[in-house]
A = this chain, B = another copy of it.
Amino acid sequence: MRTHFCGLIDEAMIGQTVTLCGWTDVARNLGGLCFIDLRDHEGIVQVLVEPDQAEVFAVAASLGYEDVLQVEGVVRARHSVNDKIKTGKVEILASRITILNKAAPLPFHAHENAGEETRLKYRYLDLRRPEMQRMQRTRIQLVQSLRRWLDARGFQDIETPILTKATPEGARDFLVPARMHPGEFYALPQSPQLFKQILMVAGFDRYYQIARCFRDEALRADRQLEFTQLDMEFAFVRERDVQDTVEGMIRTIFKEVMEVDLADPFPRLTWAEAMRRYGSDKPDLRIDLELVDVAELVTNSEFKVFTDAAANPDGRVAALRVPKGAALSRKQIDDYAAHAAKYGAKGLAYIKRGDNGEVTSPIAKFFAEDAFAALMQAVGLENGDLVFFGAGDYKVVSDFMGALRLKVGKDNGLVQDAWKPLWVTDFPMFEWDAEAQRYVALHHPFTAPAVDDIDDLRAHAKTAVSRGYDMVLNGNEIGGGSIRIHRPEMQSAVFELLGIGAEEAEAKFGFLLDALKYGAPPHGGIAFGIDRIAALMAGTESIRDVIPFPKTTTAQCLMTGAPSPIPDAQLAEVHIQVRPKKQD
């Protein structure tokens, strides 16, 4: 139906007769001439209709936004060059225009910035905008680049089931009633974790999949019910084999898609060091600020909040210097305290030091003069600066001081325009869930502990370190993985420590325990969040921009109207019914 794409017409084609197809981006009647900006996926070209072509002119004069056209004409040089578009030096002198499909008046025009609800309802109109096309293309290029890299290295792209078995973190499972098995359900996978481990046991050696995963949790700005990950698994490997390989992969795709050179090698931090220096297990290294531990310098003060935390083996007293922070108003300081409070802070002490060296601090009175001077020196407080202090439980202080660090960085223009990847390693094996009174796995229950000895693990569960690792980029965890447990006894022991009894383990993971029994190789892997990486590359905060048909934060597709009620007769066929509403 066409000989060329609109956006690719250029000066080399002057004199040629071409047939183009596309949308009427805009049509104007100016000084007795009709100008049509004809748009396709490659871009826009100007079509000119002269009045002596009466029939064609009549068609052109009738056009509205987004009418779909087929245009035949001759390429010629343009009188007034338009530098804003690729085809700005040429135009098409039309000899024939066919309206392939007339467009009704639009609910919103591509050029305006409609509300998100409208944009999602008419997603196909929103996706026509060049900015949205660009972001989708970034994602497409990212996935292409990844596959090219993986295929060239012998990774095998293997599909795993979407209809599978409910898992122990079952509360987040999507359930699918089974027609042939009344009262039974499939579940959609939260990840292909177990299947990829099984594939290693089955001898596939190096596996990957761009896999759809499902998690039924309340939607936050950066979460969707379904999301996409690059899932990888390797047999016969140790941590560095996996890390070095995928680090090279990520460097390659950033080079190919973004023309960016990432650090080589990536910096590495243990989890403990990341928490200590940045108050985060996914530190944003674009911000050149670090937390400073000052417990030792406050033990002789009379400020009970500090001395209590300093005396507590699970406590922390940490400082964050805000360069030029002396300029902060009382209100701004209060806002920072409020922000820290959201992450668990009960209060935020500070020392301000004016440009003239004058010190203002609500806590100065609790310190001897030389101790206070030592404290100021330890945190690097210079004239014009301010320093915040947090004290309390180690984890809580780290969390809110880490959050404070990010906000201070963003508010004060301290975020470098750069790509800062790193590895975080040596995660704790378990986290104590005080509510449930049991350990939970920090990565997942299949992550190997650093120790090989089961008794050793049992004896030191609280401080045990895992063989898990995360890849972090600009403050986002973009990849997470681990070396897995490959011995059935160790897997059983870890289940036990996690409060999963032998019977429950057998019911839920019997097939994994069996598989480990029949010759499982040492193996490990990683999964990367494609939506997040694509959003980072596309330069958008929201992953919704790089998902063609996203759901809202209320889990709806505004375009199709999913979810929707289903006739009871159809529910009967799969042996379920809607539960009556609770009376209370």
| Chain A interface residues toward B at CB < 8 A | 1-2, 21, 23, 39-41, 66-68, 70, 100-101, 103-104, 106-107, 122-125, 127-128, 133, 136-137, 140, 143-144, 147, 151, 156-166, 170-171, 173-188, 194-195, 198-199, 201-205, 212, 214, 216, 218, 225-226, 228, 235-238, 241, 486-487, 510-511, 514-522, 547-549, 551, 554-557, 559-566, 570-579, 581
Closest CB in chain B relative to A524 CB, distance in Å: 11
Assess A236 versus B1: contact at CB under 8 Å? Given A40-B203, A128-B203, A144-B151.
yes
Which B residue sits closest to A155, measured CB to CB? B140
Please report the C-alpha to C-alpha distance between residue A238 and residue B2 in the assembled complex, in whole angstroms.
11
Complex contacts, A571 vs chain B, CB 8 Å: 175, 576, 579
CB neighbours (8 Å) of A516 from chain B are 101
Interface centre among A67, A123, A180 (most CB of B within 10 A): A180
Asked whether B181 lies within 8 Å of A556 as measured between CB atoms, the reply is: yes
Chain B residue at minimum C-beta to C-beta distance from A144: B151
A409 to B20, CA, bound (A): 50
Are the CB atoms of B136 and A520 closer together than 8 Å? no
Chain B residue contacts of A122, Cβ below 8 A? 514, 518
Name the one of B21, B101, B163, B228 contacting A520, with C-beta atoms under 8 angstroms: B101
Are the C-beta atoms of A106 and B185 separated by less than 8 Å? no
Tell me the complex Cα distance, A487–B101, Å.
7
Q: A554 CA to B181 CA in the complex, in Å?
A: 9
Complex formed: what's the CA distance from A359 to B451 in Å?
86
With the chains together, A520 CA to B225 CA distance in Å? 29
Contact B579 A572 (CB under 8 A): yes
Asked if A185 and B68 sit within 8 Å, CB to CB, the answer is no
Contact of A103 among B143, B176, B204, B517 (CB under 8 A): B517
Bound-complex Cα distance A67 to B517 (A): 10
Report the Cα distance A218→B179, complex, angstroms.
Answer: 9
Pairs A-B, 8 closest by C-beta atoms: A103-B519, A66-B519, A127-B202, A165-B562, A178-B563, A184-B563, A124-B202, A165-B560
- Cα A458 to Cα B236 in complex, Å, equals 66
A144 to chain B, nearest CB (A): 6
Bound CA span A164–B235, Å: 36
Residue pair B570, A579 in contact (C-beta under 8 Å): no
